[in-house]
Amino acid sequence: MNNTATVFEKMLSPEVRDAFLLRKEGSYNISPEELAELKEYILSDKCKTDIKRLCNRDFFLSIPHRTLLKKKSSQKKRTIYRFLAEEKMLMKLMAFVLHDYDDIYEDSVYSFRIGKHVSRIFYDIRKNDLCNTKWVLKSDIKSYGDSLQPGILADMLDALFKDTDPDLCWFLRTLLMRGRFYADGRLMEGSTGALSGCPLTTFFENVYLKDVDMLIRKECDYYCRYADDIAIFSSSQEEAKGIYIKLKDLFSERGLSFNEDKTDILMPGEKFDLLGFSIEGREYDISKHSMKSIMWRMNHKARKLVRCQKKYGLSREETMKKMIDRIDMYFFGRGLDTNELNWVDWSFRILTRCDSLRKLDNYCQECIRYVGSGGKRTDSKYRVRYKTMQRMGYRTLVHAFYHGIDENDKRI
């Protein structure tokens, strides 16, 4: 495909659409039903017609519906904007093509970039012994997607694409600046931020901080950002404080702010959390927040299975097997058959200790016993023996950590 082609021209290319579907086939985050629906649309004449309508500047996307979703293991809610199924699939294809522009970002930005896995952050930190030798400014951006200013972003997109792809600029500006959505059955007006939940959201978020990323990278020894999660390594406490003040001003100009509850400047060797992991010197473990989230998922599934067991008269063996399959799928996934990393592939590359893995193993076994005893919390649940779990396919994380890593899969 000609590199000078516009985004819409690339979307019309059969080779590009085939590459997009091939990538989706290798993802374990999409169900067979969703994949079939995606293939049907992307390969259809309807998809080509929709792309041509965009080429002719016919903006046909519906007004999105705004919903508030409760975060798992938390009382907080996040805003999601929902589009029609075909519109969402069309934007997924567009987001795939927009990865051609990944090289416009600073190298230390790891969020949602093809071929740039976030595990590289931990490799760099460990290789250079940054946690033991540098001061760390650790923070995240408060409500990043919702706080993003559409007008500022639209101007940034114009600066990037107006001369080379004016039709793309028109579409993205129109999408961002409509400022209308449905909520609770009513049509409302207001800022939609980065349209969280839209396939283009991650692209918007990376572009919005592109200049800030490049500026801060020059000010410190090491900088890394994944979406709204930021870690900055500096030679001194004074330097870290100076960067914090500068970054705070840059954020303010863009309508953003730090989440002060999660912002701290730490001395060398001090423990901190980053992207779901707890780091202390050269030791890496799963963070308490991630542990809480995983346990919530397992407990939620166990209680759901017990309700199904009572409602549909399922046997003890059936419900135990379903719980074991759910645990196995969550941790081990289909990583060997895909181009993506499952939980074990991703985590084992980083972990240096297995304390949290042992706790997760114990908790998962408790969930299996809870299901196997019909939802009893008494000692009777221990009638479910460990050998029975093993026979049904259960495998522990600790064993996999020490014995189940492929010899070609080296940890960082």
Task: Over range 208-233, report the average pLDDT.
Answer: 93
Q: Which domains does the chain have, with CATH numbers?
A: 7-104+149-192 (no CATH), 119-145+205-281 (3.30.70.270), 285-403 (no CATH)
Neighbouring C-beta atoms of residue 380, cutoff 10 Å:
12
Residue 108 has pLDDT above 60, yes or no: yes
Residue 372 has pLDDT above 70, yes or no: yes
Residue 411 has pLDDT above 50, yes or no: no
pTM of the model: 0.85
Q: What is the pLDDT of residue 73?
A: 53
Q: What is the pLDDT of residue 339?
A: 42
Strand partners, 188: 181
Rounded (10°) angle between helices 355-372 and 288-312: 10
Q: Checking DSSP bridges between strand 135-140 and strand 264-266, what pairing results, if any? A: antiparallel
Q: Which residue has the tokens 């609770």?
A: 184
Instruction: Read off the pLDDT of residues 174-190 as tens digits, 9 standing for 90 and up.
Output: 999 999 999 999 999 99
Q: What is the pLDDT of residue 117?
A: 78
The band of 337, judged by pLDDT with boundaries at 50, 70 and 90, is very low
Query: Between residues 121 and 152, which one has the greater pLDDT?
Result: 152
Task: Over range 274-282, report the average pLDDT.
Answer: 91
The sign one gets for the Cα dihedral 163, 164, 166, 170 is: negative
SS3 313: coil
What phi and psi values does residue 81 have, to the nearest 5 degrees?
A: -110, 125
Q: What is the pLDDT of residue 302?
A: 94
Q: What is the pLDDT of residue 1?
A: 43
What is the chain's mean pLDDT, rounded? 89
Q: What is the pLDDT of residue 74?
A: 59
Residue 266 has pLDDT above 90, yes or no: yes
Task: Over range 329-358, report the average pLDDT.
Answer: 76
Residue 49 has pLDDT above 80, yes or no: yes
Q: What is the pLDDT of residue 333?
A: 76
Q: Is 76 exposed, middle or buried (0-12, 13-18, 19+ CB in 10 A)?
A: exposed
What phi and psi values does residue 226 have, to the nearest 5 degrees?
A: -130, 105
Full strand arrangement of the beta sheet holding 229-234: 222-226, 229-234, 135-140, 264-266
Residue 381 has pLDDT above 70, yes or no: no
Helix (H) or strand (E) holding 176: helix 166-177
